[in-house]
Amino acid sequence: MDFKIIEVYASSGHLVVTAEHYNANGSLWFVEHYTWQGREGLKQKRATNALGQLLLDNGTVAPTEVRRGPPDELAAFLPPGRNWLRQPAPHMVDDSILSVIRAIHKQRLASGWPQGKVDTLQTFKSASTDHAGVTVLLAKFRSLIGRAE
């Protein structure tokens, strides 16, 4: 096991994911805080239909125009007065978090990192959107507590 997520919580409008990283022999190597701005909880991916076509906020398929290549491609565009239809859930997914923890573990294996180092979390600055969005992130990602790889 390389790491285990031991806590997921909100602090200063940020999602904080605390992970223990382990040596190859299973002993504790270091503890790190990984953070994301709370505003990410308010960002949603654009919605598409089963054909992968982008949808507008009135449920219709977005118009397209040929974007000259090569290769030529059909590009959807937003007509005046319309917005994109968005998926209900945040754009972030479990792997948005896990991929960063994996990458840091790999980087520090290669570069070296002190044994037993425990990160001290500082107080972040934040915007109102961070405080509004972090509860969404917390609800979505608290289930990662205990996740180990």
25 or 35: CB nearest another protein: 35
Q: Across-strand partners of 7?
A: 18
Closest CA to 37 of 140, 133, 120: 133
Contact with another protein (CB under 8 A): which of 8, 32, 137, 147? 32
Q: Does 40 bind another protein (CB under 8 A)?
A: yes
Select the span of 2-10, 21-29, 126-134, 135-143 touching another protein (CB under 8 A).
Answer: 126-134
Task: Pick out residues in 51-80 that bind another protein (CB under 8 A).
Answer: 52, 54, 67-68, 70, 75, 77-78
Ordered alpha helix ranges (H), the chain: 94-111, 128-141
Amino acid at 127: A
The token pair at 109 is: 């294996």
25 or 123: CB nearest another protein: 123
Task: For residues 149 and 136, give the distance between their C-alpha atoms in angstroms, rounded to a whole number.
Answer: 25
Please, what sign has the CA dihedral across residues 46, 48, 54, 56?
Answer: negative
Strands 28-37 and 117-118 come out as parallel
9 or 77: CB nearest another protein: 77
- Under the rule (CB under 8 A), what is the footprint of another protein? 13-14, 32-37, 40, 43, 45-46, 48, 52, 54, 67-68, 70, 75, 77-78, 84, 91-93, 95-96, 99-100, 103-104, 117, 119-127, 130
